Amino acid sequence: MRAVLQVDEESLSRALYNLGSYLRGEILALSDRILKHYTESLPEYTGRLKKGATKDVGGYVNVEGVDVPTEISITGPEHGVYLERGTGPYAGNKSYNPPFAKISAWATYKGLNPGPVYSTIRRRGTKQYFYARQAMVKALGGKWVISEL
């Protein structure tokens, strides 16, 4: 025995349109969740990193007249890379010193003596703090692998 299901073109088109609309809404909601987790996962004292984050949705594909985005990107200020990836030691590199004023402001905020903090960062660098990766994994419920950050 064989059963055949036939769907008329109009019903199929309507179903694809509804699917495209649903996917668009879900992807846009996901981009909002990622941006929210991005700012929430940052340490308390990060200044412009929290305020300067923006999202961009692009790479659209058309599904029955509905533009469905295929890419989500979150962009923060350029110095965020130093928090995400850490820094190496500055000692021995005479052409660059870490910014004393910013380190001093942070150390003072934390109730620490700025001089030793600055010296330690200059000698050892800073540790990695994967805030952007954490935000993506948290927003996606840990179900997806992030290929590039």
Which is more confident, 29 or 42?
29
The pLDDT tens digits for 30-40 are: 888 888 888 77
Q: Work out the pLDDT band at 60, boundaries 50, 70, 90.
A: confident
Q: What share of the chain is helix, strand, coil (3-state, %, to 5)?
A: 50, 10, 40
- What is the predicted pLDDT for the residue at 115? 94
Q: Work out the pLDDT band at 148, boundaries 50, 70, 90.
A: low
- What is the predicted pLDDT for the residue at 117? 93
Closest CA to 118 of 105, 131, 109, 127: 105
pTM equals: 0.64
Answer yes or no: is pLDDT of 112 > 70. yes
- What is the predicted pLDDT for the residue at 45? 64
